[in-house]
Amino acid sequence: MASWNSIPLEVTYEVLGWLAFFSWSFSFYPQVVLNFRRKCVVGLNFDFVLLNLTKHSSYMIYNVCLYFSPTIQKQYFEKYGYDQMIPVAANDVAFSIHAVLLTAITLFQIFIYERGSQKISKISCAIISVVWFTAGVCFFVALPSHSWLWLISIFNSIQVFMTLIKYIPQAIMNFTRKSTDGFSIENILLDFIGGMANYAQMTVQSIDQNSWVNFYGNIGKTLLSLVSIFFDILFMCQHYVLYPDKRTHVSPRFNDESTEGLIDQQETESA
């Protein structure tokens, strides 16, 4: 197993890793707090939350297994070389576990708070069912030959796929409503910082090792950063540029349809 060649780069790697951890971890709280204060989840896309839970669960399985299992680490070195470093850091493990917990809490809020006419789509339910069925089949395929690195790579691929699609429902919903009301922009800002720090951390490791293996050896982490950054920029454009004055200021206890009805009623009475 390779070791660090530069102490300053090793320190920088750790600092960037934990910056990514705290930014990404704290990014979950604004939405949870917003839901709690409003006692309402109108404006938060339920498909986004459900897909996100599957994404983080898959990522947690990959990180925990590769970080803690000597058997899987051995298979990794045999494939990529014993002069390489494991591409999963302690902050990756801590983040993914925390992410699953907070996303589960957000999903729980969806069931207990006012949600108007919003619901989880059948398409998302079908995607989740297919994904976990595929993961189950892959487990039984890997079992006879103990191909554990291949198996967790499947989970890493799942999290990449879920990362690619999970933001789309929320982006479409914002576009359809012409508003980001109910969707926390603080979540996006922190997520953007985390994505940048995560990508920078991998770059620092590559510079120290004079090798870019960790980018394709852990392609999931690479794409996680790049895709997150892309959609974060999109959401920031929606919030600050496209729909800056489209955020309603009425009581969150009303959904979009009931709010419109209340406004029409008040205008009629005034007339």
pLDDT single digits (tens) 21-64: 889 888 899 999 999 999 999 989 999 999 999 999 999 999 99
pLDDT at 18: 85
Task: With a cut of 50, say whether residue 271 has pLDDT above it.
Answer: no
Q: Is residue 185 part of a domain?
A: yes
Q: Is residue 2 part of a domain?
A: no
Q: Is residue 1 part of a domain?
A: no
Q: Is residue 25 part of a domain?
A: yes
Q: Cβ of 157: how many Cβ atoms within 10 Å?
A: 17
pLDDT at 251: 43
Q: Is residue 233 part of a domain?
A: yes
Q: Is 158 exposed, middle or buried (0-12, 13-18, 19+ CB in 10 A)?
A: buried
Which of 124-138, 186-200, 238-252 has the lowest average pLDDT? 238-252
pLDDT at 10: 86
pLDDT at 2: 62
Task: With a cut of 80, say whether residue 214 has pLDDT above it.
Answer: no
Q: What's the predicted TM-score (pTM) here? A: 0.76
pLDDT at 55: 92
pLDDT at 269: 43
pLDDT at 220: 66
Q: Cα–Cα distance between 266 and 201 in angstroms, integer? A: 55
In what helix (H) or strand (E) does residue 166 lie, and over which residues does it extend?
A: helix 148-177
Give 85's DSSP letter.
P
Radius of gyration of the chain (CA): 21
Q: Which domain holds residue 80?
A: 7-270
pLDDT at 140: 96
Q: Is residue 44 part of a domain?
A: yes
Task: State the total domains in the chain.
Answer: 1
Across the strands, what pairs with 114?
40
Q: Which of 135, 158, 182, 191 is nearest to 53 (CA)?
A: 158
**Overall average pLDDT of the 117-127 stretch:** 92
Mean pLDDT, the chain, whole residue set: 84
